[in-house]
Amino acid sequence: MNTRADFLPVEFYHVYNQTNGNELLFRSRENRRFFLARFAHFLKPFCYIHAYALLSNHFHFSIAIKSVEEIDSYILDLPKEEYTSAMLNWINAEDKVYGEKKALNYLICDQFKRLITSYTRSFNKAYGRSGSLFRQKFKRSIYDPEVKFRYLQYYIHHNARKHGMVKNFLDYEYHSYYEIANELSGIVNLTKVLDWFEDLEEFISFHHSIQYEDVFKEIDFDDFLKSDKI
């Protein structure tokens, strides 16, 4: 299983990470709100967000990287004083995807690094701690949405139940199911999610269908489920 897959344009990824030594990643509702706000700030310009779950010591996201043209347009519209080294590398790269420096992969990884650094700095200040909070390298697995998109939605939204934190996934509030099911304004791109369901009603019924427990045991989820320990 490749848990360090390169980020490529218009491809789909399961992204996850956890804390060092199973330390708490979130100690309050406000921590989670701040993390989502930081995620949106650093990643939303470069990817579409389909689902998330924020557990006590780890997180899960389902995302799709935007096209080269979309990313290029965003970066070129930024004031030059806001450019990071990864953005400058992007601008100067002739082949932004497969070139020697793999500008796109470098850019997305750098945005995740900035997210993790920003959250850790704020968390440390709030709770009087120091040092790294997350494991050094976050994990990401590329997946085929034609086969796995809907099941990954289910998996992420049921993750707290998977870990025995709740008996009913609806009893856990820190995932994107409510945001999607109630069509709330948040960080998830509702239109992109519903592209993979007939409509919102099917999205909801899919999440309540107990039969999909058996699907997990049979479908080939080696890249992000059977070997997923968090």
Task: Tell whether 90 is covered by a domain.
Answer: no
Task: Tell whether 34 is covered by a domain.
Answer: yes
Q: Consecutive sets of 10 residues in the chain, 230 residues long: mean pLDDT of each?
A: 87 94 93 98 98 96 98 97 97 95 96 96 96 88 93 93 92 97 96 96 91 56 44
Task: Tell whether 88 is covered by a domain.
Answer: no
Distances (CA, A) of 77 to 37, 63, 107: 22, 23, 16
| 9 and 66 Cβ atoms separated by less than 8 Å | yes
Report pLDDT for 221. Answer: 47
Task: Tell whether 38 is covered by a domain.
Answer: yes
Report pLDDT for 208. Answer: 92
Report pLDDT for 17. Answer: 93
* Number of structural domains the chain divides into: 1
Q: What is the CATH number of the domain that holds 211?
A: 3.30.70.1290
Task: Tell whether 104 is covered by a domain.
Answer: no
Task: Tell whether 115 is covered by a domain.
Answer: yes
> Percent of the chain scored above 90 by pLDDT?
83
Task: Tell whether 77 is covered by a domain.
Answer: no
Report pLDDT for 137. Answer: 82
Task: Tell whether 129 is covered by a domain.
Answer: yes
Report pLDDT for 227. Answer: 40
What range defines the domain where residue 177 resides?
12-72+109-218
